[in-house]
Amino acid sequence: MSNHKITGVFSAATTPLNADGSPDLGLFTEHCQRLLSEGCHGVALLGTTGEANSFSLAERRTILEAALKAGVPAENLLPGTGVAAIPETIELTNHALSLGVTKVVMLPPFYYKGVSDDGLFNAYFQILNRVNDSRLRVILYHIPQVSGIAISIPLIGRLIDAFPETVVGIKESAGDFNNMQAIISAHPGFSVLCGADPLLLPLLKAGGAGCITATSNLVASSLRTVYDNVFDATRAAQVDKAQERINAYRTVSNSYAQIPAIKAMVGLKTGDSAWKRTRPPLVALNDAEYAALSENYAQLP
């Protein structure tokens, strides 16, 4: 894994809300610090799990600034900066860079569907050409089931050719292990990070770089155990046990609407039910769901 420019366990951090729907910056930065102390190499804030696209550009900037102000090191933050409009993706990326945050996860423009690789290449080309900062490291974001936009292997190749120092990895959130293997095989050294926790172990064995997952909001230490010991045969039992724990949490969260459930479970873990809130169009768990989730949660290892 040593040839990867980005490697590790990253948390697709959720964003807690105040009662008025604004981001709860205090609770959020506390969460970032907890994730790092539990073993995450970094916090991939403002992604899909973080409800980034439900926040205004101003709110997104404020959330990133709050994490830095609270002392989270810039090198441990990987904000999402890709939105539907190229000028705003440029704005968010430049904002991150202006704060010393050089690693970003970048969705392609996601309003139009069925767009061509040429169109997506042109979009990323304009963005990276205009940002034009040699410090920048971009993780492409492939989550077609939400964004509606797939990032193909040939497109990745064109982007690596055009920006070899900048386009360094992909978050593969389709959960398609064959696709992950094909990307690794087509583009050696390009960092493939999975979005699905159960795939971390096989992905690392296949030459992948790590993960950016939602369940890490709850079980970061177990993900770190897997990451650190995957190639140590003497610790296979610990790795298997950690993987079982991760899978158990994931099974529970995925029995409900996933993002609201992850948020509610962070609340159960930390004892602060403010975590239950979501911003529309997501809907918080109702009382019956929350009661059932709480029972499930109490059984988890």
Residue ranges for the known binding site are 49, 212
| DSSP letter, residue 77 | B
Amino acid at 175: G
Catalytic residue among 69, 111, 124, 171: 171
Structure-block tokens of residue 97? 């860079």
Q: Tell me if 19 contacts a copy of itself by CB under 8 A.
A: no
Nearer to a copy of itself by C-beta: 38 or 51?
51
Among 33, 54, 229, 247, binds a copy of itself (CB under 8 A): 54
Active site residue 269: no
User: Please, are residues 157 and 187 in contact by the beta-carbon 8 Å criterion?
Assistant: yes
In the block, tokens 């290449």 appear at 121
H-run or E-run covering 8:
strand 8-11
Identify residues 129-168 at the interface with a copy of itself (CB under 8 A): 145-149
Would you state the structure tokens that stand for residue 130, as one six-digit string?
Answer: 């205009």
65 sits near a copy of itself (criterion: CB under 8 A):
no
- Say whether 171 is catalytic: yes
**Residue 118 touches a copy of itself, criterion: CB under 8 A:** yes
Residue with tokens 């059932």: 292
Return the range that interacts with a copy of itself (CB under 8 A); candidates 64-72, 113-121, 184-192, 222-230: 113-121
CA distances from 105 to 11, 92, 283 (A): 12, 11, 25
- Cβ-defined contacts of 121-128 (< 8 Å, 24+): 121/155, 121/158, 121/159, 121/162, 123/86, 124/159, 124/167, 125/162, 126/86, 127/86, 127/89, 127/90, 127/93, 128/162, 128/163, 128/166, 128/167
Residue 255 in contact with a copy of itself, rule: CB under 8 A: no
Residue 92 binds a copy of itself (CB under 8 A): no
> Is residue 289 part of the contact set for a copy of itself (CB under 8 A)?
no
Nearer to a copy of itself, 119 or 189 (CB): 119
Among 279, 289, 292, 294, binds a copy of itself (CB under 8 A): 279
Tell how strand 191-194 and strand 210-213 pair up.
parallel
Residues 214-243 interacting with a copy of itself (rule: CB under 8 A): none
Catalytic residue among 103, 124, 141, 297: 141
Which residues ranging from 33 to 52 are in contact with a copy of itself (CB under 8 A)?
48
From the CB of 237, what's the least distance to a copy of itself, in Å? 39
Q: What is the C-alpha to C-alpha distance for residues 186 and 61, in angstroms, rounded to an integer?
A: 35
Task: Indicate the residue among 1 and 115 with the shorter CB distance to a copy of itself.
Answer: 115
* 274 belongs to the binding site for a copy of itself (CB under 8 A): no
CA distances from 246 to 15, 18, 197, 199 (A): 21, 28, 7, 11
Q: How far is the CB of 154 from a copy of itself (least distance, A)?
A: 15
**DSSP 3-state of 20:** coil
Binding flag, residue 188, a copy of itself (CB under 8 A):
no
Given the rule CB under 8 A, which residues bind a copy of itself?
21, 48, 53-59, 83-88, 91, 108-113, 115-116, 118-120, 122-123, 125-126, 145-149, 279-283
User: Where in the sequence numbering do the catalytic residues fall?
Assistant: 141, 171
